[in-house]
Every structure is written in structure tokens, then in C-alpha cells.
Amino acid sequence: MAATDHALHLTQLAAQAAANKQATDLVAFDVSERLALTDVFLIVTAANERQVGAVADGIEEALHKDGSKVLRREGEGENRWVLLDFGDLVAHIQHAEERQLYSLERLWRDCPAIELRVDEAAAVDAS
């Protein structure tokens, strides 16, 4: 079973929100066949701890405006890796060093990638 339309919708909203906060290296994987807990993993990179927090806040705000509530938020203490769990979508906002160290893409590379449609012009306008 593939990711639900709702999960894909949340993923696109979260990706745009992350791009609006200057996150980089955005990738998403349909993990619905492998995990019962969620449909999609979104993984993004932030340059520093402050930006990790800003990207996480931006994603949470954008999805809240769309009617979704974060079920769990972890990693805020050091802001090196913040995980936002929205049920159908789990967003990983990682500092560049954590992204390289944990290499989540390597762990999930056998799952289908989801094409992210991010409006770069909107991201520049939002900053």
C-alpha cells in the first residue's frame, strides 16, 4: 500500500515550509510498505542549531494552518536533530553533521522516493 494522499499533501506542505526557512537537501521517502507507524519520512538539512529550530517551527506552523497537529516533537534541547511526528508524516530536521553521521537516506534508500515540488521563488520571497 502506498502513502495516502493526505500524507503526500502534508509532505509537500512541510517541504515548502522547510524551503521557506532555507533548509537544504530535501528528500522524502514513502515508507508505508516498511513501517506501520507512518507513511512518509521527510528529511531536511539545516546549517546550524538555530536554523534547525526555525525549520521545525516553520513546518509545524504550516501544517497547523492546514489543520494538522504535531503528535510528538523530539530533539529540541540541542536542536541538532528535531523530529516532528504528524502521524502520516514524520519530518526529520537535521544539522548538517547529524545528517552525514546518521545517513537516513542510506537506511531508507530501498523505499520509493517522493518527488518534492518546492517553489524556489516562494522560498526566497518568504525569507
**For helices 49-65 and 5-20, angle between their N-to-C axes, nearest 10 degrees:** 140
The architecture (CATH level 2) of 5-126 comes to 2-Layer Sandwich (3.30)
| Segment (H or E) for 42 | strand 40-46
| Of 13, 2, 114, 4, the residue nearest 68 (C-alpha) | 13
Cα distance between residue 55 and residue 16, in whole Å: 10
Domain assignments of the chain as residue spans, ordered by start: 5-126
Q: Give residue-wise pLDDT tens across range 27-59.
A: 999 999 999 999 999 999 999 999 999 999 999
Q: Report pTM.
A: 0.93
Mean pLDDT of each 10-residue bin along the chain, 127 residues long = 93 98 98 95 97 98 98 93 98 96 94 93 62
